[in-house]
Amino acid sequence: MQKLVIASSNSGKLREIGQLLQPLGIEVLPQSAFNVTESEEPYCTFIENALVKARHASRCTGLPALADDSGICVSALNGKPGILSARYAGEPRSDERNNQKLVDVLTDEADRKAHYYCVIVLLRHPDDPQPLIADGSWHGEIVLRPRGAGGFGYDPYFFLPDLGKTAAELPAEQKNRISHRGKALARLVERISEETL
């Protein structure tokens, strides 16, 4: 596998995935390089949405495709925003409005425990019957005031008690190593390496 299309238009995700897959010598291309439109995400689980996105990108490009579906799940909200994390405050998508809605909902809530979850799917071709699948979680809690200028999405509000920082305050290298997406990608890299031995 020398080329791989990423089924995403999210620049933050593209940057993180590209950095983590670089050591494998795989050329990572965004689906926008092929004018591939975003796939529908009609399902209520991360895994199903990741599969449909990867299949769409692979079918449109003829290349192996990688898709992730990820979001933040808040305990007090029964796992919401979950799969709707990017659209929590509606369309058009806005990190600022999503964060404001989450803070508003949690202002009077004592339990602000949350975790990021990511599932990654790699299809070798559109009809691959045995996709490579990996996932990862990252546990923390929501704070009501933003901290830090790094990351994207909910990162300025996602506090990591063991580090005393939000995800947005971490250097990119550290975040990539310990985040939900970093853990999932590390597991995926292991699976890819096992296949090529």
69 is annotated as an active-site residue? yes
Paired residues of 29 in beta bridges: 5
Contacts with 168 (C-beta within 8 Å, 6 or more apart), sequence order? 146, 147, 148, 149, 150, 151, 155, 156, 158
Residue in 69, 108, 128, 162 annotated catalytic: 69
Residue 99 to residue 115: CA distance in whole angstroms: 15
Residue 99 to residue 183: CA distance in whole angstroms: 24
Token digits of residue 147: 């901290």
* Distances in whole angstroms, Cα of residue 90 to Cα of each of 45, 84, 96, 149, 166: 19, 9, 12, 24, 25
Residues annotated as catalytic are 69
